[in-house]
Amino acid sequence: MREYGKDNELIRAVCNGCKKEMKVEHGILKEGLFEGVQRFGYFSEKDGITHKFDLCEECYDRMTHSFALPVTEIEEKEFL
């Protein structure tokens, strides 16, 4: 969950999985935080609904380790 202040500056970020308060300094998130956004469409039971959530790295790892198939891992050569 992310809260934004005036000028759309990030003021607070909390993991939806464990309620961990993430480190935010001057509008910049200083820790890894997964942002999940899913817009459900016509062929879904949740047509027209959008779900958003954030997971700290620990909760992200717990979720992905429960997958039957592992995530695809790609090593980025350049950081922008």
Measured from the CB atom, the residue of 13 and 59 that comes closer to Zn ion is 59
Q: Return the residue of 18, 27, 38, 47 that touches Zn ion, per CB under 5 A.
A: 18
- DSSP code of residue 59: H
Site for Zn ion contains 54 (CB under 5 A): no
Residue 69 beta carbon to Zn ion: minimum distance, rounded to whole angstroms:
23
DSSP labels, 39-56: E--TTSTTTT-EEEEEEE
Interface residues toward Zn ion, by CB under 5 A: 15, 17-18, 20, 56, 59
